[in-house]
Amino acid sequence: MKFNTKVIHGGQHHDPSTGAVMPPVYQTSTFVQTSPGQPINPDYEYSRAANPTRSALENALASIENGTRGLAFSSGLAATDCVLRSFKAGDEIISMDDLYGGTYRMFTRIYKNSGIKFHFVDMNDIEKFKSLINENTKLVWVETPTNPLMKLADIQEIAKITKEKKILFAVDNTFATPYLQKPLDLGADIVMHSATKYLGGHSDVIAGALIVKDEALGEQLHFQQFATGATLGPMDSFLVLRGIKTLHLRVERHCENGGKVVEFLNSHPKVKTVYYPGLPSHPYHEIAKKQMSGFGGMVSFTFVSGQKEDAIDFLEKLNVFTLAESLGGVESLANHPALMTHASIPEDKRKEVGITDDLVRLSVGIEDAEDLIEDLKQALA
């Protein structure tokens, strides 16, 4: 199947008992057994281990990322936490230096205290990255594009190194979505999504996902999920699955509107720098062209003045864009990373990677582009 067909049919089956086109919401905690240890369906004993609605979502996740196993979690951070539970004190993890604030917080304030050592590096400095690898290195964690500076990492190039060194390689594919980028096909071992964002697509659910190709790794991660309990409920699974069925249509429109917004911002006299991988001036534009089929709907920019007050004034004047955390919904959202999504990162670390106080991040939705541009124009005026 090609992608547009996969999001609707991939890994999916009509309900065998009723013929329902969409999988029912199996709002049940447990399943009947005919004799002790003999459930009617051997796949389902207790919903923490498996639930038919969640299974339908997990099959769809595996299909659209070209994996063999998908796992659905109660949040993107729960999915990340499941991966981190594979490691112990003394292990080392190399991570992209520009990260979602919640991921950075988990790495530095939870797992660092467990004795795991983290290195944060620009993954485009391959020699620096390679110099950090040693016998204790167990995982490489990458976001591409990154949140919020839209940095990119060459997945294929990094995968060559991790495979040679027998190190797990995980990619947070939230911003790109599987419609624009396939990390497993490029050599990654694990794909993570905050399914709250583009996969759900309607700002009505909190969810996370992991997808792998290696079946043994999938079984290990499933055990860690089952043993710790951060599973996605059946109603939320249904909502994410419903969102996935229109993913291709929505992301096409996000890309189209994102390009128009970037064109406007890039020529505005009050805007200093626009961060968007589709711009030829973007330092990693060639990587984006190589590994992505489009450039997405996430855009960040700074002001010529460099003043935080100008960013706040702009955000307070928006009418169509909604000032709120999160991204990837049908509605356009605006965010101030330093005060909102990345506030948990210390100020000196934010400045080190380039998250300035005048930086604004936009999640460009699927409204009429003309209305979005008019809103930006009046807020900048």
Tell me what the mean pLDDT of segment 332-356 comes to: 93
pLDDT recorded at residue 16: 86
CA 267-292-335 angle, to 5 degrees, is 50
Dump pLDDT digits (tens) for 161-204: 999 999 999 999 999 999 999 999 999 999 999 999 999 999 99
Query: Do β-strands 298-303 and 271-275 pair in parallel, antiparallel, or remain unpaired?
Result: antiparallel
Read off the pTM.
0.96
197 part of the active site? yes
Query: Do β-strands 137-143 and 92-96 pair in parallel, antiparallel, or remain unpaired?
Result: parallel
Dump pLDDT digits (tens) for 56-107: 999 999 999 999 999 999 999 999 999 999 999 999 999 999 999 999 999 9
Which one of the listed residues 54, 151, 182, 197 is annotated catalytic? 197
Which one of the listed residues 15, 48, 185, 214 is annotated catalytic? 48
* pLDDT band for position 32 (cuts 50, 70, 90): very high
Dump pLDDT digits (tens) for 320-330: 999 999 999 99
pLDDT recorded at residue 108: 96
48 part of the active site? yes
Which one of the listed residues 26, 100, 198, 284 is annotated catalytic? 100
Dump pLDDT digits (tens) for 277-314: 999 999 999 999 999 999 999 999 999 999 999 999 99
Rounded to whole angstroms, the Cα distance separating 137 from 165 reads 9
Which one of the listed residues 81, 97, 172, 358 is annotated catalytic? 172
Dump pLDDT digits (tens) for 210-244: 999 999 999 999 999 999 999 999 999 999 999 99
Q: What is the share, in percent, of the chain residues with pLDDT greater than 90?
A: 98
pLDDT recorded at residue 17: 85
- Which candidate, 345, 82, 330, 25, places its Cα nearest to that of 208? 82
Rounded to whole angstroms, the Cα distance separating 360 from 269 reads 16
DSSP for 70-93, written as a single string: EEEESSHHHHHHHHHTT--TT-EE
pLDDT recorded at residue 133: 98
